């Protein structure tokens, strides 16, 4: 499976801040003829003309990234927004309030519930607002997004169909040229944020070896070029593929932790965060010594409306629940 296009860049650790100017700097500037500029900037700084000191920007960059991950939403806007508010991602109106946070959604926004359009619009809004605030939204595809692109409507509710204006209109909207279909076909299936791998189902070593840029380019190429009926035959979207595999959430740890380690080694990563396999007790499941975290807690009312998000700051992992925060690792 060779890459067809140049790999797209993935979220990387923030760039190393520029070191502070040394004592040599005035001399160097003088030698390069920039003394006048130096003198001017020094005087301006002295009289406090620059309202924001440059050093402030650098000190922010040194802070570890705050990452918040939320699992399957399945058509329930009210519970989704409640989780986002609880985790400090959005306010009551669905506006981004998380500053420089990276917010990852691990797929399955659609199906089983009615609020499909509203939820994707929320994601679109948050993505734009996050950029302005210096943060980032990383929306990932789940198996249910791809099922809808395959025109597999087994889990679509009548209210959802109605919200699109009927089945035919819905089909067009989800198509390669539809407003929603076009947007979703730009989403990735796997992300690496500073050594944490995020995806919907789980990344078996078999797939991990291709590397994340290749997996995302391949997925987008298939989704953007193949008609719905052909997508069924793409192994990347099959049962042991990244969107469907449940091994890390379900299989015996004595076997599956070794598999996980192989996948993480191939990606040079610390841990994997996945959705897809509902935890009906409403608790984030940690397995293999916190190397895999299952964050599908059944947020949609179909699964009980359990509210939880995972917060990662450096190596500190915290489960954020209604009225309590539970440290998973530090």
Ligand X SMILES: *[C@@H]1O[C@H](CO)[C@@H](O)[C@H](O)[C@H]1NC(C)=O
- Look up residue 245 and give its DSSP letter: -
Using the rule CB under 6 A, give the single segment among 37-45, 115-123, 169-177, 206-214 that binds ligand X. 115-123
Residue 216: closest CA among 296, 134, 138: 138
Whole-angstrom distance, CA of residue 207 vs CA of residue 212: 9
Q: To the nearest whole angstrom, how small is the minimum distance from the Cβ of residue 195 to ligand X?
A: 5
Out of 94, 135, 201, 242, point to the residue binding ligand X (CB under 6 A): 94
* Long-range CB contacts for residues 286-290, cutoff 8 Å, separation at least 24: 286/317, 286/328, 286/329, 287/248, 287/249, 287/253, 287/256, 287/257, 288/248, 288/253, 288/256, 288/257, 288/260, 288/261, 289/257, 290/317, 290/328, 290/329
Site for ligand X in 266-305 (CB under 6 A): 270
Helix ranges, the chain (H): 25-31, 35-46, 54-62, 77-86, 116-133, 143-149, 158-164, 167-174, 179-184, 205-208, 212-225, 228-231, 247-250, 253-267
Choose between 231 and 320: whose C-beta lies nearer to ligand X. 320
Out of 1, 5, 7, 13, point to the residue binding ligand X (CB under 6 A): 13
- Compose the 167-196 pattern: x for residues touching ligand X by CB under 6 A, - for all others: ---------------------------xx-
Q: To the nearest whole angstrom, how small is the minimum distance from the Cβ of residue 206 to ligand X?
A: 26
- Compose the 118-137 pattern: x for residues touching ligand X by CB under 6 A, - for all others: x--xx--x------------
Out of 53, 64, 99, 165, point to the residue binding ligand X (CB under 6 A): 64
Q: To the nearest whole angstrom, how small is the minimum distance from the Cβ of residue 291 to ligand X?
A: 12
Choose between 64 and 165: whose C-beta lies nearer to ligand X. 64
Q: Residue 131 corresponds to which tokens in the numbers above?
A: 């950029």
315 binds ligand X (CB under 6 A): yes
Residues forming contacts to ligand X in the complex (CB under 6 A) are 13-14, 64-65, 94, 118, 121-122, 125, 194-195, 270, 314-315
């Amino acid at each position: 499976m060779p890459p067809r296009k140049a790999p797209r860049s993935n979220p990387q650790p923030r760039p190393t801040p520029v070191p502070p100017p040394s004592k040599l700097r005035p001399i160097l500037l003088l030698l390069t003829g920039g003394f006048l500029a130096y003198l001017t900037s020094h005087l301006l700084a002295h009289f406090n003309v620059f309202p924001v000191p440059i050093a402030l920007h650098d000190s922010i960059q040194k802070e570890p990234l705050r990452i918040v991950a939320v699992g399957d939403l399945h058509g329930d806007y009210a519970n989704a927004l409640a989780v986002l508010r609880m985790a400090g991602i959005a306010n009551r109106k669905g506006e981004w309030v998380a500053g420089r946070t990276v917010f990852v959604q691990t797929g399955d926004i659609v199906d089983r519930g009615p609020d499909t359009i509203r939820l994707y619009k929320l994601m679109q809004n948050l993505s734009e607002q996050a950029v302005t605030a210096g943060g980032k939204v990383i929306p990932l595809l789940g198996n249910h997004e791809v099922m809808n692109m395959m025109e597999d409507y087994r889990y679509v509710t009548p209210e959802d169909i109605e919200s699109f204006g009927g089945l035919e209109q819905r089909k067009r909207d989800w198509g390669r040229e539809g407003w929603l279909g076009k947007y979703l076909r730009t989403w990735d299936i796997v992300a690496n944020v500073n050594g944490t791998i995020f995806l919907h189902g789980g990344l078996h070593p078999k797939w991990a070896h291709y590397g994340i840029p290749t997996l995302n380019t391949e997925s987008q190429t298939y989704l953007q070029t193949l008609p719905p009926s052909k997508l069924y035959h793409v192994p990347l979207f099959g049962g042991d593929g990244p969107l469907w595999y449940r091994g890390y959430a379900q299989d015996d740890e004595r076997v599956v932790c070794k598999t996980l380690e192989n996948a993480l080694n191939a990606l040079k990563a610390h841990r994997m965060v996945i959705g897809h396999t509902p935890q009906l007790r409403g608790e984030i499941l940690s397995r293999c010594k916190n190397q895999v975290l299952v964050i599908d807690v059944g947020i949609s009312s179909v699964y009980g409306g359990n509210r939880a998000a995972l917060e990662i700051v450096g190596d500190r992992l915290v489960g954020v629940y209604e009225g309590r925060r539970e440290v998973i690792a530090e």
